[in-house]
């Protein structure tokens, strides 16, 4: 059986596994390890194992095969004397590792997905009781992200509770942050999200729902105002009708 695996952050793995009917297994495990963006520190490692125990390994930083058992030492000596085998192993950094690392960087590591942000009320409050608002950030990639809060333009450093970045299971992540605050008239609460998919920090303003009592008072005031306007309109129309009717009666009496 052959398999190809990619392990984050910077590890490319190619494994070739062979098995025997009697339960013994020989397998070869190939790794490309690096941390520099320009791939200049790329290391190629090729290991040979028998039932999970290594008996022979090649490391590009060493430049030759090294044996760990009697069988492995004999093979290492034989392969190190074979110029074609040794040259082929040393060339894997440029032939196998770097080309595949570039593809992985372009397809995975450098990929970004902008998050979806939602602000919601967890617990309403008033002038004497604190309120709790949540900033939920969904479906973003890569994982690192910063979520913070602003209160009237000032960064909030207390009364904030946040989760870690939670994997969705589909390469995307989510996180949630809660802010406890005391509602005040004219107050502005904002959630700030910083992510690799954004060119600058994004600010999302919280528009809290109107409390029920305040909503009822506003509704009553609106109804009263509409009634007053309607009454004035009817009175003006009646007065105008009276004036027109009175003028008509005076002309007819002559």
In a domain, 185, yes or no: yes
Whether residue 26 sits in one domain with residue 105: yes
* Residue 184 half-sphere exposure toward CB, CA atoms < 13 A: 9
Q: Which domain holds residue 50?
A: 2-109
Answer whether residue 253 is part of any domain.
no
CATH number of 78's domain: 3.10.320.10
Residues 90 and 146 in one domain: no
- The domain tally of the chain equals 2
Q: What is the pLDDT of residue 241?
A: 58
Q: Considering the domain boundaries, does residue 234 fall inside one? A: no
Indicate whether 135 belongs to any domain. Answer: yes
- Is residue 142 reached through a cis peptide bond, with omega within 30 degrees of 0 on the bond before it? yes
With respect to residue 125, please indicate whether it lies within any of the assigned structural domains.
Answer: yes
Instruction: Identify the pLDDT of residue 157.
Output: 86
Instruction: Concatenate the DSSP letters of all residues of 148-185 into one string.
Output: EEEETTEE--SSEEEPPPEE-SSS-EEEEEEEEE---T
Domain contains 227: no
Residues 120, 166, single domain; the answer is yes
Distance CA 177, CA 238 (A): 60
Any domain includes 215: no
Measure the CA angle with vertex 208, ends 175 and 115; round to 5°. Answer: 25
- Final residue belonging to a domain, choices 85, 109, 133: 109
As a whole number of angstroms, the distance between CA 93 and CA 95 comes to: 6
Domain boundary among 190, 205, 220: 205
Q: Are residues 7 and 103 in the same domain?
A: yes
CA 174 to the chain's CA centroid = 6
Per-residue pLDDT of the chain (254 residues; tens, 9 = 90+): 344 443 334 555 555 555 555 667 888 999 999 998 889 999 999 999 998 899 999 999 999 999 999 999 999 999 999 999 999 999 999 999 999 999 888 877 778 999 999 999 988 866 667 899 999 999 999 999 999 999 999 999 899 999 999 999 998 999 999 999 988 888 899 999 999 999 999 999 998 876 544 444 554 456 566 666 666 676 666 656 556 666 655 555 55
- CA 138, 142, 144, 147 dihedral sign is negative
Q: Is residue 83 domain-shared with residue 99, that is, in the same domain?
A: yes
- 16 in Cβ contact with 34 (< 8 Å): no
Please tell me whether residues 89 and 180 are part of one structural domain.
Answer: no
Asked whether residue 235 is domain-assigned, the answer is no
């Amino acid at each position: 059986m052959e398999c190809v695996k990619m392990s984050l952050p910077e590890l490319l793995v190619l494994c070739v596994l062979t098995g025997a009917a009697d339960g013994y297994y020989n397998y070869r495990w190939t790794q490309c390890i690096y941390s520099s963006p320009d791939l200049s520190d790329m290391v190629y490692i090729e290991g040979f194992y028998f039932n999970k125990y290594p008996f022979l390994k090649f490391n590009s930083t060493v430049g030759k095969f090294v044996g760990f058992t009697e069988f492995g030492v004999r093979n290492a000596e034989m392969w190190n004397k074979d110029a074609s085998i040794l040259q082929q192993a040393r060339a894997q950094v440029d032939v196998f590792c770097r080309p595949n690392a570039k593809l992985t960087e372009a397809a995975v590591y450098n990929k970004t997905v902008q998050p979806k942000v939602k602000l919601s009320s967890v617990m309403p409050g008033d002038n004497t009781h604190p309120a709790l608002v949540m900033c939920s950030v969904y479906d973003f990639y890569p994982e690192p992200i910063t979520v913070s809060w602003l209160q009237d333009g000032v960064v909030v450093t207390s009364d904030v509770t946040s989760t870690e970045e939670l994997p969705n299971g589909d390469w995307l992540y989510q996180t949630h942050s809660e802010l406890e605050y005391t509602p005040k008239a004219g107050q502005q609460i904002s959630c700030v999200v910083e992510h690799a998919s954004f060119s600058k920090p994004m600010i999302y303003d919280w528009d809290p729902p109107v409390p029920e009592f305040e909503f009822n008072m506003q509704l009553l005031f609106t109804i009263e105002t509409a009634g007053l306007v309607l009454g004035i309109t009817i009175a003006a129309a009646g007065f105008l009708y009276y004036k027109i009717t009175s003028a008509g009666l005076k002309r007819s009496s002559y």
